[in-house]
Structure 1
Amino acid sequence: MISKKPIRIISLILILSIIVNVESEAVFGKKKSSLFGKDNDSEYIILSGGPALRKWEDLRIEKYQHDRWWGNFIRSARARIQELRKEKGEKYKITWLVYKPSYETRSSEDDNPLISWVNSVQKKYNVNLVWIFKSNEITNYINNGRDRKKTKIDGFEYYGHSNRYAFLIEYSNDIIGASTVYLHENDLKQIRRTSFNRKAICVSYGCNTGESMSKKWRQATGIKMRAAIGKTDYSNPLKPVVVPPGYWNDFRLRLKRRR
């Protein structure tokens, strides 16, 4: 009869040799063994639209005015960046697209260094801040901002003005109550769906995008987008909410899960 003790000793030696080999590879810069998980070479994209100007909004009836505070779409994005950095770690790739012209004009109007304040967020949280000027720069970055064969997109979130058909990247800054720079739902077909991880998280915190644009987003990317049916409210920029009787377009799905 063969003793089990030598077999156990041999098994233990083999396990120890594997562990030592993996650790030595890590120390000398070689690729780590899959036993310890693959490096997470992916990216999260956050898009911030621009604020309206007070000179236009002050002409409206008060209840219809927008952006009394300049930083609605910056502070909410910053809070999300902070969450991601804490959750994913310092090396995780976070890219922040911000529409610069509206912040430049609002900076002059408020007489505050808004561009410097936005830059300070980039420095504090080590994010890839990309100032944008045209709407096609958004789809261009999604497709070509990095080598998408190697770096897939884990998530995309939008903070800004919108309607059911478009992200209004600029709104009521050039012309009262109008948008001159926007990403329309028909432009989404320019996005290469292979840019995204299949389980990517996509959310729009703009008004009404759950009514049409989110469907076009899914058609273009293959990814569901959580979005509002109705208006959103940034009174607490740390947590934008949907204004009743509106609701998130995944409300029924979440209700089923709770049951």
Structure 2
Amino acid sequence: MRVRFLILFMLGLAGFSGVAEAAPNQNHLILCGGPALRKWEDLRVQRDQHDRWWANFVRGSTLRMVEIRRAYGPDAPITWMVYRAGYAERGREDGKPYVKWITELAAKRKVTLVWVHTGTDVINTINRQPSRSVVTFDFFGHSNKHCFLLDYSCEIIGVSKSWIHENDLSRIKGGVFSRNASCQSWGCHTGESMSAVWKRAVGISMIGARGKTNYEPVGQGQMPSVSGQWVR
């Protein structure tokens, strides 16, 4: 009896890795908006300028990927939705192959890259997920209290031509999210209206900022901070 218990105990230890293994039929969604063009932002006074570094939202995304893989296992499936036009335009402005770099980054980190162009593209990608499979959702990009702004100051200064408005959230199938899914917007002001609409439409709470978010910490390997507070 004592020998049998010892064998079972050792088998239990052998199966314990300290990190959760990726469960089948789970996915983690990250939405990444695009940067502003410098030709527009340089027309603003310095305190109002955005995106001096092109990769704020990309770096925020990859930091989150690390967190997800630590919490859910090294093989946790991640779908990375990226607003392609923003990085294509900023790449042309900077003379850098940002679209190519993002593609290579996705391959290196073994995530599924989905290029999106409109809010409808994003919603369709979310809705294609199997029932109760979405465990986490994160948004990195410009936003205001009513919108995820996929594009901001890319084609027109201070204007977005591609977005997801809170009125569009009812088009998302709430059934694709697990019942205890973790959702967060890392954009400015989302917690002032959009989080509440998200909860009513999707049935899952979304953490958002009451106030502005700051992406300076991502250059030092830390997640964005908020000037106000994070709220649900």
TM-score range, shorter-chain basis? 0.7 to 0.9
AA in 2 matched with 1:175: I
Aligned to 1:240: 224
1:153 aligns with 2:137: no
CA distance in 2, matches of 1:126, 1:104: 22
The structure with the largest alpha-carbon Rg is 1
Q: TM-score, normalised by structure 2?
A: 0.87
Match of 1:203 in 2: 184
Q: Deviations over 1:106-134 (max 9, x none)?
A: 00111111112211221111000101111
List alignment gaps of at least 5 residues for structure 2: 12-20
Q: 2:24 maps to what in 1?
A: 40
Q: Is the 8 A contact 1:107 1:114 kept in 2?
A: yes
CA RMSD in angstroms comes to: 2.0
Matched residue type, 2:106: Q
CA–CA separation in structure 2 for the residues paired with 1:102 and 1:95: 19
Query: Structure 2 CA distance, aligned partners of 1:192 and 1:240?
Result: 28
Quick one: which of 83, 90, 98 aligns to 1:99?
83
2: distance between equivalents of 1:82 and 1:233? 20
Matched, 1:214 2:195: yes
Report the Cα offset of residue 71 of structure 1. Answer: 0.3
Distance 2:43 2:76 in 1: 44
Q: Does residue 85 of structure 1 match 2:66? A: no
Q: Distance in 2 between matches of 1:234 and 1:50?
A: 14
Q: Does 1:67 align with 2:51?
A: yes
| Runs of 4+, deviation exceeding 4 Å | none
Answer yes or no: is the 8 Å Cα contact 2:22–2:76 preserved in 1.
Answer: no
Structure 1 residues 38 and 240, CA gap change in structure 2 (3 angstroms)? closer
Per-residue deviation at 1:38?
A: 9.7
Distance 1:63 1:75, change over 3 A: same
Change (3 A) 1:184 1:38: closer
Matched, 1:178 2:162: no
Kept in 2, the 8 Å contact 1:82–1:125? The answer is: no
Residue identity over aligned pairs, in percent, reads 44
SS at match of 1:210: helix
Amino acid at match of 1:249: V
The Cα offsets for residues 14-45 of structure 1, whole Å up to 9 and x where unpaired, read as: x98xx9xxxxxxxxxxxxxxxxx994321000
For the residue of structure 2 that corresponds to 1:216, the secondary structure is helix
Specify whether residues 38 and 127 from structure 1 end up closer, same or farther in structure 2 by C-alpha distance, changes over 3 A only. Answer: closer
Aligned positions, number:
216
For residues 184-208 of structure 1, what are the alpha-carbon distances to aligned partners after superposition, in whole Å with 9 as ceiling and x for unaligned? 0000000111110010000000000
Give the distance between the partners of 2:189 and 2:125, measured in 1 at CA.
Answer: 24
**Secondary structure, aligned partner of 2:191:** coil
The Cα shift of 1:91 comes to: 2.7
CA distance in 2, matches of 1:248, 1:39: 29
> Which of 195, 209, 213 does residue 228 from structure 1 map onto?
209
1:167 aligned counterpart, secondary structure: strand
- Contact map agreement 2:22 2:74 (CA 8 A) in 1: no
